[in-house]
Structure 1
Amino acid sequence: MLTLRQMTYFVALAETRSFSQAAETVHVTQPALSQQIKEMEASLGTQLVERLPRDIRLTRAGQVVLDRARQILAMTRDLEAEIRLSKGLTGRLALGVIPTIAPYLLPRALTRIKAAALDLDMRVREAQTAELIALVAAGKLDAAVIALPYDIQGLLAEPLFTDRFLLAGSQARIAALTEATVPRPTELSPDTLLLLDEGHCLADQALEVCGLKRNRQSVDLGASSLATLCGLVAQGFGLTLLPEIALCSEMAASPEMAVLRFSDPEPQRMVALVRRQSTEAKLWFTELAALLKDAGEELMCEAQSRA
């Protein structure tokens, strides 16, 4: 009979393509992992792994088992999460947050969460949207804070608050723009536009707002963080679209930076909390969404008083 342990070891082996790395991933010795894989093959009566000198390769049967094992492990983690969180924000909660939201929302939100749920053991994972969605779908995260629009691949989203885009640059650049007609995002020159590097959904959303394509060679897609981006534009190296949630923090860090609001309709993104469809919208999710929403709306009010 197959066990969850065997399936966990097998998935780790398939993902790392190395017995030694897989053993390290699941915190067992290599012989122990190898023995479990052999027992798994014996139980199924078929070879799952082709053992090569410096690599491993799944057989056709192994690929089928991998797909099913991932589904079973995800369902198991989902069941565990349901039991842990069935009474609200208690027990353990694994939350993901994207990098263009985490440093601004989390300090304020975590204060509220801690006050509302003293016995909550909360683990936070900061990663880009694609990774967070995969982790939520696999049951490795209970929920994640992301920005829409984005293909959430069947997950359910609870909108939290609207995050508007502002035009940011040096004080001289912004002053020159305010003397003329405020441009629409689609009127911005790609030659002067700086954005985050590949993988950040904020860069894709900003490009869409500006009516540009990612393959436009004239758009600089190189900054690794909003802090870096703001530091660059504050010193006159182009313009960028700054999410409102980051305004107060980044203006404090880069006082030479100035911002300009677009005329209505202002470009924006929707910050949302996502979960698996198989996870019932029980009290923990409702409570968490409400706390995150309160923190986000407070940040939005502060930003609107600044610009």
Structure 2
Amino acid sequence: MNLTFLETFVWVAHLRSFTLAAERMHATQAAVSARIASLERELGVKLFVREPRDVRLTPEGERALAHAERMLRCSKEFYRDVASGDGLRGTARIGVIDTISHTWLIDFIRRSRATYPRIDLELVADTSLRLIDMLVAGEIDLGLIMGPVGGPEMIDIDLCTYASAWVASPTLGLDGRPLDVGDLVRHAIVSFPRCSQPHQAMMRYFSRFTEDETTFYSTNSLATIIRMTVDGIGVAAIPPTVVRRELERGELVRLDVRQPFPPLGFQATYRDGPASHLPAALADLAREVAREFCGGQDPALAW
């Protein structure tokens, strides 16, 4: 039985559209229709009821879907466990957040090139919130994000965790002495974007203070957060692993704050489905690279 025909059947069933399935599989609608017709002839049953604005599974199609998905999962596992790197090919659309871009993304790209030379990577840099939306919409195949996402169709693989620390420009004169949260709010707080996990944690961290007592500068750019903090605009909670060079050069100093800021956890997330063997393989590779990176860091800062 042709696995491509089965994959086409599963996509049409999930998307309830021949047109959308054709777009997802980079095929023409005529090719998708021909594959479904061929599969129906081979099985001797009608799989879909075609209506002007909808496509529905027949009772036979409902039964066939579970079997088709199981066969495709077995095929994915077979490729992952048996095939060489040269056997995997195609284009993988990967969304990545700045924190990973600033640490081990280049190592991941190099490892991917060496392990899977026939996989082309299309990289999209954005916030976790936006990348999750893109994952759900099928616009990217894999997200290297701050998650997890959860849900029955999403696979979350833990990558690594970074400790966070309060940092500031030495020009603010905050280093060398113990500080409390109240000492921080005398300065602007440079933060990750609103609604993000770090910003929500930040709001809980300063929950005993009113809006009039705190000033937040939020941005979706980690580079901008670092630049603003280096320039003395405010203080920020950033993983020291990310700003190692700025700390070594004395552009930033770690602050001794009695109330620690919570660590940040990162995941590789992809949608489980008929074409998930590529993102699954790359997610496993990302986990290997992330763990190797953390193995070379202070275990109190990255694990």
Task: State the TM bucket, normalised to the shorter chain.
Answer: 0.5 to 0.7
Partner of 1:90: 85
After superposition, residues 1-307 of structure 1 pair within 5 angstroms as 4-5=7-8, 8=11, 27=26, 46=49, 48=51, 50=53, 78-87=73-82, 90-91=85-86, 92=88, 94=92, 97-111=96-110, 117=115, 119=117, 121=119, 123=121, 125-126=123-124, 127-129=126-128, 131-132=131-132, 135=135, 141=141, 145-147=144-146, 150-153=148-151, 159-173=158-172, 175=173, 177-178=174-175, 180-184=177-181, 188-189=184-185, 192-198=188-194, 200-208=196-204, 210-212=205-207, 220=216, 222-248=218-244, 256-260=251-255, 262-263=257-258, 267-273=262-268, 289-300=287-298
Give the CA deviation at 1:225: 1.0
Closer, same or farther: CA 113–34 of 1 in aligned 2, 3 Å: closer
> Is the partner of 2:180 in helix, strand or coil?
coil
Q: Residue type of the partner of 1:87?
A: V
Q: Find the aligned partners of 2:49 and 2:34 in 1 and give their Cα distance.
A: 15
TM-score, normalising length: structure 1:
0.59
Preserved contact between residue 163 and residue 301 of structure 2 (Cα < 8 Å) = no
Preserved contact between residue 161 and residue 271 of structure 1 (Cα < 8 Å) = yes
Q: Find the aligned partners of 2:69 and 2:137 in 1 and give their Cα distance.
A: 7
- Please list the CA deviations of residues 234-276 of structure 1 after superposition, one character each: whole Å capped at 9, or x if unmatched: 2232222112331135669x97444435458563123445578
Closer, same or farther: CA 32–294 of 1 in aligned 2, 3 Å: closer
Preserved contact between residue 98 and residue 145 of structure 1 (Cα < 8 Å) = yes
Q: Find the aligned partners of 2:143 and 2:244 in 1 and give their Cα distance.
A: 23
Give the CA deviation at 1:125: 4.5
- Please list the CA deviations of residues 80-108 of structure 1 after superposition, one character each: whole Å capped at 9, or x if unmatched: 53232113772438565433213321123
Provide the alpha-carbon RMSD of the alignment.
5.6
What fraction of aligned residue pairs are identical, expressed as a percent?
Answer: 16
Q: Find the aligned partners of 1:268 and 1:146 in 2 and give their Cα distance.
A: 14
- Please list the CA deviations of residues 110-133 of structure 1 after superposition, one character each: whole Å capped at 9, or x if unmatched: 445656x37573636445445459
- Please list the CA deviations of residues 202-249 of structure 1 after superposition, one character each: whole Å capped at 9, or x if unmatched: 3334444x2549xx6966464121001111222232222112331135
- Please list the CA deviations of residues 51-73 of structure 1 after superposition, one character each: whole Å capped at 9, or x if unmatched: xxxxxxx69x69xxxx9999999
Preserved contact between residue 104 and residue 249 of structure 1 (Cα < 8 Å) = no
Q: Residue type of the partner of 2:262?
A: P
Count of paired positions: 276
Q: Which region of structure 1 is more displaced relative to structure 2, 121-130 or 161-170?
A: 121-130
TM-score, normalising length: structure 2:
0.59
Closer, same or farther: CA 27–194 of 1 in aligned 2, 3 Å: same
> Is the partner of 2:76 in helix, strand or coil?
helix
Q: Residue type of the partner of 2:8?
A: R
Q: Could you tell me which runs of 5 or more consecutive residues in structure 1 were left unpaired when the two chains were aligned.
A: 38-42, 51-57
Q: Find the aligned partners of 1:190 and 1:206 in 2 and give their Cα distance.
A: 15
Q: Could you tell me which runs of 5 or more consecutive residues in structure 2 were left unpaired when the two chains were aligned.
A: 37-45
Give the CA deviation at 1:181: 2.6
Closer, same or farther: CA 86–276 of 1 in aligned 2, 3 Å: farther
